[in-house]
């Protein structure tokens, strides 16, 4: 709250420094602002295999956002988020679509100042971020949100430079699917899948210090720098550095190249992550690497690809050789809809997927099917050596009769997720944007 107040005081200072003529136009700045938002209904049913457990839930949530018009480059924005528990049809609720205690919550999730001058934009305050290793991970009812201060510049031709600092993290509902406090194995699974190593069930819906959220140790936050280059035709390269004070430094890089040929468009991509402990090394002597490659082709209404990844092997403490990503970052080519074992130490993962769009037939429908396989090392820290698998599908439909309405049906069917346990999960999601 102190940071939000500070941002507000800075904003008032900027406004008081402009001319009298500018002050007379403040009403226009607000009257020409725009409101928008989303309503989301989420139904989920997960029936376990080789385990006596069946979870379900129905939630209603979304957000309402208001952004002022910009005046001489200055604008403001705020968004209110809500998740409401409606029902369950089994004895156990599905935690990933609800808030703490499987209940409802409300949150002022965005409250920011934005200022643009030339090719430089500053955005400070509560906001939504989508970067490789710090992101919204909007996979259930509500996304992750951040308190951050970010500068973006495009002065260099074909290059975007990003620099900033992230101070707080507000976990969305999805992170509650993990139970980091249950035991060491579940803590490892959570912190390599995008969430806290200490508490994933009770921190949703609150802005928490980055270190406190991740490992229950208050830190100075995460300093971020990045460069994105598109100066070569059909090629995009980006490099990101995340300096998580007194925890670790993470470098993420990827390159994507694709061409359009007669009737089809092949593409290839590669990504790399390197993590090393820094400062007080509050998580220990982390030293890990992950690499992946992907190749695919688009033709007609199809898009098919295959991907492979590998993470550093461990001879002792699996955590130190795993890819740690506690703030919603999940860029891996080989992740499943649910299974994210590819960042565990020693894991070799593959994924094949295909999407077909029916737009050429006059129907705004796309369908995806995939299969992912995770060759788990005996020293992964999450179960014994085995091959965990996940197959699934995703169908997205936009009815012509109702503008801005999206209907989505998804299913995932992991096997040997942990030991011999798996499940059959179905989701039905309704999104209405306004």
The pLDDT of 5-16, averaged and rounded, is: 40
Identify the residue with better confidence: 19 or 100: 100
At residue 191, φ and ψ (nearest 5 deg) are -75, -15
Model confidence over 350-404: pLDDT tens digits? 999 999 999 999 999 999 999 999 999 999 999 999 999 999 999 999 999 999 9
Residue 192 pLDDT: 99
Q: How confident is the model at residue 224 (pLDDT cuts 50, 70, 90)?
A: very high
What pLDDT does 26 receive?
79
DSSP labels, 147-172: EEEEEEE--STTEEEEEEEEEEEEB-
* Phi, psi angle pair for 174, to nearest 5°: -60, -40
- pLDDT-derived band at 11 (thresholds 50, 70, 90) equals very low
What would the mean pLDDT of 62-81 be, rounded to a whole number? 97
- Alpha-carbon gap, residue 391 to 412, rounded angstroms: 6
pTM above 0.85, yes or no: yes
Q: Report the C-alpha gap between 64 and 66 in whole angstroms.
A: 7
- Each domain of the chain, given as residue ranges in start order, spans 2-433
Instruction: State the CB neighbour count (10 A cutoff) for residue 387.
Output: 11
Q: Judge whether 205 and 97 are in contact, CB under 8 Å.
A: no
CATH code, 2-433: 2.40.160.10
Mean pLDDT of all residues in 337-358: 99
Nearest to 374 by CA among 318, 288, 311: 311
């Amino acid at each position: 709250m102190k940071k939000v107040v500070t941002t507000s005081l800075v904003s008032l200072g900027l406004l008081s420094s402009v001319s009298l003529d500018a002050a007379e136009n403040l009403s226009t700045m607000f009257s020409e602002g725009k409101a928008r938002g989303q309503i989301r209904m989420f139904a989920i049913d997960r029936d376990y295999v080789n385990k006596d457990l069946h979870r379900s839930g129905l939630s209603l949530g979304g957000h309402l956002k208001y952004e002022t018009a910009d005046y001489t480059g200055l604008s403001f924005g705020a968004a209110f988020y809500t998740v409401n528990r409606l029902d369950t049809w089994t004895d156990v609720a599905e935690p990933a679509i609800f808030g703490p205690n499987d209940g409802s919550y409300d949150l002022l999730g965005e409250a920011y100042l934005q200022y643009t001058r030339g090719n430089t934009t500053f955005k400070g305050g509560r906001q939504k971020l989508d970067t490789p290793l710090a992101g919204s991970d909007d996979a259930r009812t509500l996304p992750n949100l951040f308190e951050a201060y970010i500068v973006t510049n495009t002065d260099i031709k074909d290059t975007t430079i990003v620099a900033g600092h992230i101070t707080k993290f507000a976990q969305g509902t999805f992170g509650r699917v993990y139970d980091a406090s249950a035991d060491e194995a579940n803590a490892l699974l959570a912190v390599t899948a995008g969430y806290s190593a200490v508490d994933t069930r009770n921190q949703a819906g609150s802005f928490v210090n980055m270190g406190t959220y991740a490992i229950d140790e208050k830190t100075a936050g995460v300093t971020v720098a990045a460069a994105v280059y598109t100066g070569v035709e059909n090629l995009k390269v980006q490099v990101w550095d995340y300096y998580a004070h007194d925890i670790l430094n993470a470098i993420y890089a990827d390159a994507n190249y694709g061409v359009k040929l007669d009737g089809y468009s092949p593409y290839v991509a590669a990504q790399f992550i390197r993590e090393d402990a820094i400062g007080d090394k509050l998580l220990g002597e982390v030293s890990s690497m992950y690499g992946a490659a992907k190749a695919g082709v688009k033709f007609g209404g199809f898009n098919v690809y295959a991907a492979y990844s590998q993470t550093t092997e461990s001879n002792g403490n699996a955590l130190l050789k795993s890819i740690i990503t506690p703030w919603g970052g999940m860029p891996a080519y080989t992740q499943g809809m649910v299974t994210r074992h590819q960042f565990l130490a020693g894991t070799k993962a593959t994924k094949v997927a295909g999407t077909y769009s029916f737009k050429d037939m006059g129907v705004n429908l796309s369908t995806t099917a995939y299969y992912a396989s995770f060759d788990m090392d005996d020293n992964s820290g999450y179960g014994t050596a085995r091959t965990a698998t996940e197959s699934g599908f995703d169908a997205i439909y936009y009815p012509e009769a109702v503008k801005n309405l999206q209907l989505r049906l998804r299913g995932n069917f992991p096997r040997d997720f942990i030991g011999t346990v798996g499940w059959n999960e179905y989701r039905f999601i309704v999104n209405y944007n306004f």
